[in-house]
Amino acid sequence: MPSRQSSVLTLTVASVVVALAACGPPGEPAPNSRAGRAADSAYVRSVFGPTWTLATINGAAAPLGSGGRPATLEFYSGAERRVNGFAGCNQWSSTWERRSADSLVFTAPVSTRMACSDGMALEQRFLGIIEQARRIAQRDSTLTLITLAGDSARFVAR
């Protein structure tokens, strides 16, 4: 049978763990709170207003997709937090979630199912980076998505 001192220590440690778990990072509102939704909306308006056109993948010039069109993405800040664009052959869409100032996660992208003689290799690479992106960096008219593996896609505002 545990001693009274052991029980008090266990209860104290459990209380501290619960209290610390309830704390969030300073200055970051809870994502589902009114302040969190307002911060997301301001973030989207300032960072995701334009259509972003793919310029490079891993530092190399991005190839053009079907019909000579570049891959694109465009963010929307409605309740569903949608993102969509052109992937190289097909139209694509996903949802996004902002985790912190430099962290953004997408759900698995879905796309139309057209087959193209050109643009399919670009589409596979592009959608792979979208699905695995975990960091976002924005500077002036440039937006960069970075995966945990270090792959990157750099976009310019259009």
Q: For residue 153, what are its two tokens?
A: 């896609």
Q: For residue 42, what are its two tokens?
A: 């301001």
Q: Which residues pair with 105 in a beta bridge?
A: 97
pLDDT value at residue 78: 77
Residue pLDDT tens, the chain, 158 long = 555 565 544 444 444 333 333 443 444 444 445 555 444 545 555 566 789 999 999 999 999 999 999 999 998 877 788 999 999 999 999 999 888 888 989 999 999 999 898 899 999 999 999 999 999 998 889 999 999 999 999 999 98
Answer yes or no: is 4 within a domain: no
Answer yes or no: is 72 within a domain: yes
Answer yes or no: is 105 within a domain: yes
Specify the CATH number for the domain of residue 37.
2.40.128.270
Answer yes or no: is 12 within a domain: no
Answer yes or no: is 102 within a domain: yes
Answer yes or no: is 73 within a domain: yes
pLDDT value at residue 24: 38
Specify the number of domains making up the chain. 1
One-letter-per-residue 3-state SS of the chain: CCCHHHHHHHHHHHHHHHHHHCCCCCCCCCCCCHHHHHHHHHHHHHHCCCCEEEEEECCEECCCCHHHCCCEEEECCCCCCEEEEECCCCEEEEEEEEEECCEEEECCCEECCCCCCCCHHHHHHHHHHHHHEEEEEEECCEEEEEECCCCEEEEEEC
pLDDT value at residue 130: 96
Answer yes or no: is 20 within a domain: no
Q: Quote the domain boundaries for residue 110.
A: 29-157
Quick one: which of 105, 101, 156 has its CA closest to 134?
105
Q: For residue 149, what are its two tokens?
A: 């593996």
